[in-house]
Amino acid sequence: MAVSQTILTADRGSMERRRMRLYALCLSLDVLAIVTGFWLASLIRGGQGLALNGIPLALGALPFFVSFGLAYGAYSVKCLSDYVESARAALGAFGATSLIIVTFAFLAQVGAVMSRLAFVYSVMITAILILVGRAIIAGLIRWALDSVAERCLLIVDGAPVEGATICEVLDVKDLGLRPDLANPDRVARVGELVDPYDKIYLSVAEEHREAWITALKATGASVELLVSTGDIHGAVGLGRLGDADTLILSLGPLSLSSRVQKRLLDLALTIPALILLAPLLIVVAIAIRLDSKGPALFAQTRIGRSSRPFKIYKFRSMNLAQTDATGSVSASRNDQRVTRVGKFIRATSIDELPQLFNVLLGNMSLVGPRPHATASTAGDQLFWEVSQHYWMRHASKPGITGLAQIRGYRGSTEKREDLEGRLRCDLEYLQNWTFFGDLAILAATVKVIKHDNAY
């Protein structure tokens, strides 16, 4: 299947939205299966349907089932694509939940709520209903998504592809879409190109591979390279596309459960923080306006997820006429551009607090690689000139704080080593992300809010 230039204006995230609706439907049917199963078991066993004995137990089991379901991948692309895998994951989650119920009943001695035989009936009926619900979802996928739960794109650049493919195909050679790692706009264009797709396959000439691989790893997409035997290119696994061998270069974004955890953590901490800090934010805004002419907030273009630009918000700490919209000149100690209030809010990191609104909007996270301005330099080199791996740090949302910050990498980047240290930390964070790792970074951030290099 060929793809024209209209690919660049595709409805971004439309497939993801449809999948999210299917995930929600999956969860709803699973919940209905559990509640119905426990209710029917209570009715069959003791004729106590009107007493609804089993429903409180079913409702208590739901949080455990949802947690196990996310952990088992019961709400994943793979489950939407494969009924057997979908049934296995859902039943596995329900089995683990049943063990929790049995353990709780034994320890709390609550057998009077539901007899052992009624519980066995509940498990059997619920398992059958879960299988029926998953079969309904499989039918909906065939109807709504034409049996395709994820979109894939094959990028061709100077390397012919033999045989048919289920992917949409884009030959970029004549479209001017080849990435240029020295040009942020071209790298961001790659992010826009692949955004509507779940998996990217590459068939590119050897001389263009390095640029494509680096640019695509920066998007956080799942990427595989069509290769001949013997190629390596930093692969993390082997795959197939039709009859062709592929090298898996990137496993794609965090799993659904991980993304849900990270987003819930962001919202759970950001919303209360904005409420509690509202008086401080108002006082600081007034102080800035009284101290110097101009608005209290300063918006600057930074490089975000998939190397795409976004507006970051900070309290203005410099004289209005001397603010640096491109970030070409880093602030230095005793910087004459910084106002009196600006010195205080920069030293205490209060100037960063408006970024909580960025987190609320969804273009930043509490924890992640810090977003940089497009003209930032390390010594006399632009950041991406120091290392082409720089772009890979943009595979996830940028953060207010990160691993680099708690390890002391703050302040100006006066030499390339300052950036290289940050980059090592950022890539380590992306490779080893965990929910509890984010919590640890947030806790450690409290200790470095005031830092000698914060000026």
pLDDT in tens, 125-163: 999 999 999 999 888 877 766 656 677 888 888 776 665
In total, the chain counts a number of residues equal to: 455
Q: Which of 316, 330, 247 is nearest to 287 (CA)?
A: 316
Quote the mean pLDDT of the chain: 81
| Dist CA 431 CA 236 (whole Å) | 12
The CA distance from 255 to 365, in Å, is 16
pLDDT average, residue stretch 347-359: 93
**Tokens 């001389």 found at:** 207
Q: What is the pLDDT of residues 19-74, one digit of tens each?
A: 788 888 999 999 999 999 988 887 887 655 444 566 777 888 888 898 888 888 88
Question: 């108002």: which residue's tokens?
Answer: 282
Query: Which SS3 state, helix, strand or coil, does residue 393 take?
Result: helix
Q: Per residue in 366-424, pLDDT tens?
A: 999 999 988 888 878 888 888 878 888 888 899 999 999 998 887 777 788 888 889 89
pLDDT digits (tens, 9 = 90+) for 199-208: 888 888 888 8
Q: How far apart are CA 394 and CA 392, in angstroms?
A: 5
Read off the tokens for 1. Answer: 């299947």
User: Per-domain residue ranges for the chain?
Assistant: 14-144, 151-251, 256-448
Structure tokens at 200: 């990217």
Is-contact 416 383, C-beta < 8 A? no
Query: Higher confidence at residue 19 or residue 238?
Result: 19
Q: Give, for 132, the enclosing helix (H) or strand (E).
A: helix 116-144
- Is the pLDDT score of 6 beyond 50? no
Which residues is 225 bridged to in the sheet? Answer: 202, 247
Q: Is the pTM value of this prediction over 0.85?
A: no
* Least confident window among 60-64, 322-326, 354-358, 378-382: 322-326
Q: Report whether pLDDT(231) > 70.
A: no
Residue 5 pLDDT class (50, 70, 90 cuts): very low
Distance CA 405, CA 408 (A): 5
pLDDT band at 288 (very low <50, low <70, confident <90, very high): very high
pLDDT the model gives residue 297: 92
pLDDT score of 250 more than 80: no
**pLDDT higher than threshold 90 for residue 365:** yes
Q: 303, 323, 319: which is closest to 311 by C-alpha?
A: 303
Buried b (16+ CB within 10 A) or exposed e, 166-182: ebbbbbbeeeebbbebe
pLDDT at 240 over 60: no
